């Protein structure tokens, strides 16, 4: 009589983040705030960056002992450099800081360009560089997560600057994935559709704009910050240990056609 086959089941994915340090920019509001809360809930110790100290302190207090507030303007390279001096390396970086100035391309000013590209691209690049240097120096197999947009995959009227910035993030992340893979550092994008945040909420006061957005989101609703958090925890954790250089669309089907 033959012995029954011993069936070896696979190890289940681990989404927990105990013992890890996460850095989140733009974390006093919107997706950044939600990201800090989610990572802390998963066990990480989160350091939250934003300019408004009072808002940041209030969010950190609401999250609890796993959250630390650090008031910082990520567009100021001297402040960024000073923050990382003597700083213990992080395991996770989430680039959430961003802005938008929607207007016709023919009306875009140099100030508009500097504001959008400066925050969405330049600040993300150099914050990532500083975090990656720390990871490499400490031998950390870290996760770099950039909050992009569906607008990094398509075009839209009145959003030439925003699209330019989010397409740039896509290219940056892919290049970093290639360059840093040998050091065990992963780089990925989360690309949401319109998420209701303090930044986007005023746009939805225009009924025609809201109707057009809902027409394109095939699941028929505006996104909420909670919709992004599953992808965030996945990319931050060991569950995604073979995932790098990709863009996770959380767009309700916008880019499906």
Annotated catalytic residue 8: no
Question: Residues for the chain: how many in total?
Answer: 257
pLDDT for res 200:
86
Q: What is the pTM of this model?
A: 0.96
Number of domains in the chain: 1
Distances, alpha carbon 171 to alpha carbons 3, 56, 152, 232, 249, in Å? 54, 30, 9, 19, 15
The question of whether 234 is a catalytic residue gets the answer no
Which residue is catalytic, options 103, 162, 201, 218? 162
In a domain, 201, yes or no: yes
CA–CA separation, 243 and 9 (whole Å) = 22
Virtual torsion, Cα 82, 85, 89, 93, nearest 10 deg: 10
**pLDDT of amino acid 152:** 98
Which residue among 141, 166, 174, 210 is the active-site one?
Answer: 166
Residue 38: inside a domain: yes
Query: For the segment 146-166, what is each residue's pLDDT rounded down to a tens digit?
Result: 999 999 999 999 999 999 999
pLDDT in tens, 63-108: 999 999 999 999 999 999 999 998 999 999 999 999 999 999 999 9
Q: Quote the pLDDT of residue 86.
A: 86
3 occurs within a structural domain: no
Domain that holds residue 155: 21-256
In a domain, 13, yes or no: no
Q: For 157-196, what is each residue's pLDDT tens digit?
A: 999 999 999 999 999 999 999 999 999 999 999 999 999 9
pLDDT given for residue 3 in this prediction: 82
- Domain assignment present for residue 195? The answer is yes
* CATH at 122: 3.40.50.720
CA distance 80 to 72: 7
pLDDT for residue 1? 67
Q: Is 2 domain-assigned?
A: no
Q: Which residues contact 256 (CB under 8 A, 6 or more apart)?
A: 218
User: How far, in Å, CA of 143 to CA of 149, rounded?
Assistant: 19
Q: Tell me, yes or no, whether 151 lies in a domain.
A: yes
Q: How far apart are CA 79 and CA 76, in angstroms?
A: 5
Is 10 a member of any domain? Answer: no
């Amino acid at each position: 009589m033959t012995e029954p086959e011993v069936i070896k089941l696979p190890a289940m994915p681990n989404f927990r983040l105990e013992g890890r340090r996460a850095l989140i920019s733009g974390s006093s509001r919107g997706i950044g705030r939600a990201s800090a809360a989610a990572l802390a809930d998963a066990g990480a110790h989160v350091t939250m960056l934003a300019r408004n100290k009072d808002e940041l302190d209030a969010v950190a207090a609401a999250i609890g002992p796993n959250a630390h507030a650090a008031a910082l303007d990520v567009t100021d390279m001297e402040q960024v450099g000073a923050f990382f001096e003597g700083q213990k390396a992080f395991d996770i970086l989430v680039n959430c800081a961003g802005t938008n100035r929607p207007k016709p391309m023919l009306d875009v000013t140099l100030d508009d360009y500097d504001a959008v590209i400066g925050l969405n691209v330049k600040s993300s690049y150099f914050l990532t560089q500083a975090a990656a240097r720390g990871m490499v120096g400490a031998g950390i197999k870290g996760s770099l997560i950039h909050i992009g947009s569906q607008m990094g995959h398509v075009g839209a009227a009145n959003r030439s600057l925003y699209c330019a910035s989010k397409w740039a993030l896509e290219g940056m992340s892919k290049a970093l994935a290639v360059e840093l893979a040998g050091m065990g550092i992963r780089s990925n994008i989360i690309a949401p559709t319109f998420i209701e945040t303090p930044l986007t909420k005023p746009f939805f006061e225009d009924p025609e704009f809201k109707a057009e957005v809902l027409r394109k989101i095939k699941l028929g609703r505006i996104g909420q910050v909670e919709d992004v958090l599953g992808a965030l925890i996945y990319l931050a954790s060991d569950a995604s240990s073979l995932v790098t250089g990709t863009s996770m669309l959380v767009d309700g089907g916008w880019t499906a056609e």
